[in-house]
Structure 1
Amino acid sequence: MPTTAQAAQCMNAGLDVVVLGSGGPELTDKRASTGYLLRENGKARFIIDFGAGSSLNFERAKGEIKDLNALLFTHFHVDHSNDLPALVKASFFSDRNRDLPIYGPTGNHVIPTTPVFIERHFSEKGVYPYLSDFLSGEAAFSLKPMAVNADKSKPRLFQTKLNGFTLKAIPIEHGLMPSIGWRIEKDGCAVTFSGDTSNIGKTLDILAKDTDIFIAHNAVPESSTDKVAVKLHMKPSEIGRIARNTNSRSVVLSHFMRRTVNVKQDTAKAVRKQYQGKLAFAEDCDIFSLKSGLKVGSCKQ
């Protein structure tokens, strides 16, 4: 259980996380695909992944593109990234006039590195050449893609500061897809996003230490015997182990699939064998306070 001293560390009551999408790649779950929004005093600060449907919930959360400090991507599977073109197009109608950093993983033979991924979308020879002015400097602002090391064989912790926030990232195991987990800190508050991972290599144990909210993806059930799936995603018992070992104040489960959304009782039981802190199952538009670790509302209201 978190100590009183730890609970007092988060000094910014204005920080919260909106779940823009709690689903995965399936189109039968009545959920938006993966996406999160970190806000400060109701203003959008960071988008973390932006899968299908996330843009609608960004609007419901009263997010404004002009307020964003950066976009952060854990990886570029479709269910984590395919509302990005919608956001770039929508930004034409916003009041944004400062460049927009886009942080994401380095690439390999499966997927290009972040700057190339963005270029293949929005350059003059890309999929959306009519949006190329966001790369050429002719628009009101420019997209500024930056690659973060995703090499699992050399899992260095990335860290940078941006507008009063500290951003941290580390390589995570997600099969052939280069992937990173993210952590955002400010005023003693921290939220960690697991991304899709089995946590082979235990790198989340480094990233999530003493986090206020650990948002962990629950894409496989505890009973899974699918060798491929369990190499890509962590079981609930592993989520519980990480939360216990990192002294996480609260755990929010997300990225549900059909194989996990209907076994929440079994999932909770498996987590509870390892971890006795706050535990929640995310729904689209849920809002969680970093200071309390609890759900405080919904962007649908």
Structure 2
Amino acid sequence: MRKFLLIFLSIILIPQLQAAEITATSCINSEIDVVVLGSGGPELTDRRASTGYLLREKGKARFIIDFGAGASLNFERVGGKIEDLEALLFTHFHVDHVNDLPAIIKASFFSDRERDLPLYGPTGNHIIPSTSVFVERQFGVNGVYPYLSDFLTGEAVYRLIPIEVNADHDNPRLFTTKIGDFSIQAIGVDHGLLPSLAWRIEKDGCSLVISGDTNNSGKTLEHLAKTADIFIAHHAVPESSKDHVAQHLHMKPSEIGRISRDSKVHHLLLSHFMHRTEHTEDETQSAIRSYYNGPLDFAKDCDIYQLQTGKKIGSCM
């Protein structure tokens, strides 16, 4: 059986995070931006694609972070090319974050991609499989799509390589790696029973941080989001929520505001809307503004934001 590449975090514990390599630097690259491929959640009545983001440099696709239902269409709209991607990064394996993964793997057959494609995701538990098992169950010879198994066995023109990152929020460790010229970091966040990660991508002093779905009860986001040029925070529960299940999975706007203030975030972008947060902008802004007074935007599908300025610079619609 083919061996999967596993990466477990063993270097930096939370008490040591202040000594980690995240430092306040100025973004000197005006050609890095992020495209909101999907700003919605699991509902099919919200007129939004499910969660997904694309980091680009000079207009070229570099990193996909989550790839929920509908994200593949917006990847096409923005002119993304599969052969340009450095890696796929997943926060967790809820359907609304991974649904279009088979679509992009199948589509890659018709692309010019020839180099291996790393797929980074969380370790698993008794509720949901680890990244390597998840990918095997999707594309293995005994998986859901066995006709795509050559992307795992090495018989295709490139290999899909699953890489596991420790997502244990009870014993969080900062994961750090280099992919090309980009520095990548991740840390486990609390999303109920689902092993989940938050991601940071950085180059030339320009940094993008994506919270993923989390209630942040373990306070692991503060360090990862430090001085982020753009902090994409998932906003799936309103400040007035009395839904204890939802609050166990997602953070309220006041927590997003506190993180943004304490981390000195340059620009805050809210995403992952659901019906319960879609028409609560005034309440949400008020809760966030009690902590954070920096630039704040509400994401829409296909919005494009420049990391250097934090400003919206276009749309793929």
User: TM-score, structure 2 length as denominator?
Assistant: 0.92
Give the match for residue 145 of structure 2.
128
Pick from 61, 81, 85 the counterpart of residue 98 of structure 2: 81
SS at match of 1:28: coil
The question of 1:241 aligning with 2:263 is answered no
Are 1:192 and 2:214 matched, yes or no? no
Structure 1 gap segments, 5+ residues each: 1-5
Q: Does the alignment pair 1:227 with 2:247?
A: no
Q: Do the aligned residues in 1 keep the contact of 2:24 with 2:227 (CA within 8 Å)?
A: no
User: Aligned ranges for residues 260-271 of structure 1 at < 5 Å?
Assistant: 260-271=277-288
Match of 1:59 in 2: 76
Structure 1 position 149 matched with structure 2 position 171: no
1:46 maps onto 2:78 in alignment: no
| Amino acid across the alignment from 1:60 | R
Aligned amino acid, residue 24 of structure 1? G
Q: In structure 2, do the counterparts of structure 1 residues 40 and 240 end up closer, same or farther at CA, with 3 Å as the change threshold?
A: same
Q: Work out whether residues 170 and 218 of structure 2, in 8 Å CA contact, stay in contact via their aligned partners in 1.
A: no
Corresponding residue number in structure 2 for 1:278:
295
Q: 2:48 aligns with which of 31, 54, 79?
A: 31
* Percent identity of paired positions between Structure 1 and Structure 2: 67
The letter for the 1-side match of 2:148 is: L
How far, CA to CA, are the matches of 1:207 and 1:150 in structure 2?
Answer: 14
- 1:210 paired with 2:245, answer no
| Contact 1:7-1:249 at 8 Å conserved across structures | no
Task: Give the structure-1-normalised TM-score.
Answer: 0.97
State how far apart, in whole Å, the 1-side matches of 2:116 and 2:274 are: 35
Mapped partners of 2:174, 2:182: distance in 1: 16
Shift of 1:269: 1.1
State the alpha-carbon separation in 2 of the partners of residues 111 and 31 from structure 1: 26
Contact 1:249 1:278 in 2 (8 A): yes
Find the aligned partners of 1:174 and 1:61 in 2 and give their Cα distance. Answer: 30
What are the Cα deviations for residues 161-211 of structure 1, in whole angstroms up to 9, with x where unaligned?
010000000000000000000000000010000000000011000110111
Contact 1:115 1:146 in 2 (8 A): yes
Q: Which amino acid aligns with 1:141?
A: Y
d(CA) in 2 for partners of 1:155 and 1:136? 32
Structure 2 residue runs of 5 or longer lacking an equivalent are 1-22
Distance 1:47 1:67 in 2: 11
- Partner of residue 309 from structure 2, selected from 289, 292, 300: 292
Matched residue SS, 1:178: strand
Q: Would you say the 8 A contact 2:24–2:226 is kept in 1?
A: no
Q: CA deviation at 1:225?
A: 1.1
Aligned residues: 295
1:8 Cα shift?
7.3
The answer to whether residue 155 in structure 2 is matched with residue 138 in structure 1 is yes
CA deviations over 1:41-64 (Å, ceiling 9, x no partner): 000000000000000000011000
